[in-house]
Copies of this chain bind each other. A is one copy, B any other.
Amino acid sequence: MAYRRMYKSMEKKLTIYDIAKEAGVSTATVTRVMSGHASVRPSTREKVQAVIDLHGYTPSAIAQDLENGKNKTIGIILPEIINPYFAQLFNAADDEARQSGYSVWLNQLPSYERVEDSLVDDLIRRRLDGAFFMGGIWETQRPGLMEAINRLGQYMPIVALCPPQANLNCICLYNDLTSCVRHAVRHLHVLGHRRIAFIGGSLQVGGSGARGQGFLDELRALGLPDDPAYHHEGGFDAESGERAVQRLLSGLEKSRWPTALVAFNDLVALGAIKQLKQIGLKLPEDMAIIGCDNQFFCTYTDPPLTSMDLHPEEHARSAIRELLSAKDHNTPPFNLMRDATLVVRESCGAKLGYRKMG
């Protein structure tokens, strides 16, 4: 037994013509009533409005879009919304766009996967008003990404959350990750740490390279030993953190264990903390750790995780604003750097004060 007319969409779709006919006016008048701008005789207005209300008529956005040749939509491309860091970015971008009467269209592009032409085609096909590529992308080799951005950039303004790169034709918003990591290392040094290791991420590639560089730079600047056994790459999530700690410590005599860890990000730190405790270490007494991203759970780890805030919301809001303004004013590409902020909690032993360490 089939159900009929369950949805109005199943009935004859209601168009502006239907309203016009039923109200005994032209479609132009209906438009006038709805927009409210033009002047309509009060009696006609009422008559038309009555019909509109009666049927609950709402004009089709797709027809409107066609009419004025745009979407009022901005495409957002990120690796995975599951990652709270990207959720945070997305959320701020969404909010900012909405405030300007724009919508946002989310596209997940998993890390490690090749950038397919079909994604770019999709974005072009939709006639978006701009595209915002956010991070995670440069942390790994991403075949095809730069070409994709450059092609897409011929159709709409683009903002990317990444350090500026040669031949990358878009607005780049980024953090000075080198100085960010140097900041972290310095914090640990001030607290007395001398054997410091870096875990997670990937020291060679893309944006991660900057962190690795910062790490090494600061070690040198402080005159600390630069032991290759103290670099353990591996990934961007909590499991990577667990594994990194395991590999790091199992490869070293106890006497040579570092006293502090710089984690690629908070997720890596989260995993590291678990593994460190499992080994029986007390935090921060036996091992200090610092994360990056200042995620919501930093307050709730035990001990609370000291971290670097990269100010993702501000980046996201800038991105949207620049996108909209670039569309209007045809702004030439530029780049914008933000400093990171150290958020001191307890995982580095700040409360314990300075200690002389082996």
Which residues in A have some Cβ–Cβ distance to B below 8 Å?
2-4, 6-10, 13, 56, 58-63, 65-66, 69, 71, 80-82, 84, 87-88, 90-91, 94, 103-106, 108, 121, 124-127, 151, 153-157, 238, 270-271, 273-274, 277, 296-297, 299-302, 330-332
User: Across the interface, do B108 and A330 meet the contact criterion of CB distance under 8 Å?
Assistant: no
Q: How far is the CA of A151 from the CA of B7 in the complex (A)?
A: 10
User: Across the interface, do B108 and A94 meet the contact criterion of CB distance under 8 Å?
Assistant: yes
User: Across the interface, do B63 and A66 meet the contact criterion of CB distance under 8 Å?
Assistant: yes
Report the nearest B residue to A13, measured CB to CB: B69
Given A63-B66, A84-B84, output 12 extra A-B contacts at Cβ < 8 Å.
Answer: A3-B332, A4-B330, A7-B330, A9-B155, A59-B125, A61-B127, A62-B71, A62-B126, A82-B88, A84-B87, A273-B300, A297-B297
A65 to chain B, nearest CB (A): 5
Q: How far is the CA of A228 from the CA of B170 in the complex (A)?
A: 60
Q: Which residues of B contact A65 (CB under 8 A)?
A: 62, 65
User: Across the interface, do A66 and B62 meet the contact criterion of CB distance under 8 Å?
Assistant: yes
User: Across the interface, do B7 and A156 meet the contact criterion of CB distance under 8 Å?
Assistant: yes
Q: How far is the CA of A285 from the CA of B66 in the complex (A)?
A: 65
Q: Which residues of B contact A59 (CB under 8 A)?
A: 125
A98 to chain B, nearest CB (A): 9
User: Across the interface, do A125 and B60 meet the contact criterion of CB distance under 8 Å?
Assistant: yes
Q: How far is the CA of A297 from the CA of B274 in the complex (A)?
A: 11
Report the nearest B residue to A106, measured CB to CB: B106
Report the nearest B residue to A238, measured CB to CB: B300
Q: List 30 A-B contacts (CB under 8 A).
A: A3-B330, A3-B331, A3-B332, A4-B330, A7-B154, A7-B155, A8-B154, A56-B154, A58-B124, A60-B66, A60-B127, A62-B126, A62-B127, A63-B66, A65-B65, A81-B91, A82-B84, A82-B87, A82-B91, A82-B296, A84-B84, A87-B87, A103-B105, A106-B106, A238-B296, A270-B300, A271-B300, A274-B300, A300-B301, A302-B302
User: Across the interface, do A94 and B106 meet the contact criterion of CB distance under 8 Å?
Assistant: yes
Q: How far is the CA of A242 from the CA of B90 in the complex (A)?
A: 27
Q: Which residues of B contact A105 (CB under 8 A)?
A: 103, 105
Q: How far is the CA of A71 from the CA of B297 in the complex (A)?
A: 38
Q: How far is the CA of A3 from the CA of B156 in the complex (A)?
A: 14
Q: How far is the CA of A157 from the CA of B6 in the complex (A)?
A: 9
User: Across the interface, do B87 and A81 meet the contact criterion of CB distance under 8 Å?
Assistant: yes
A279 to chain B, nearest CB (A): 13
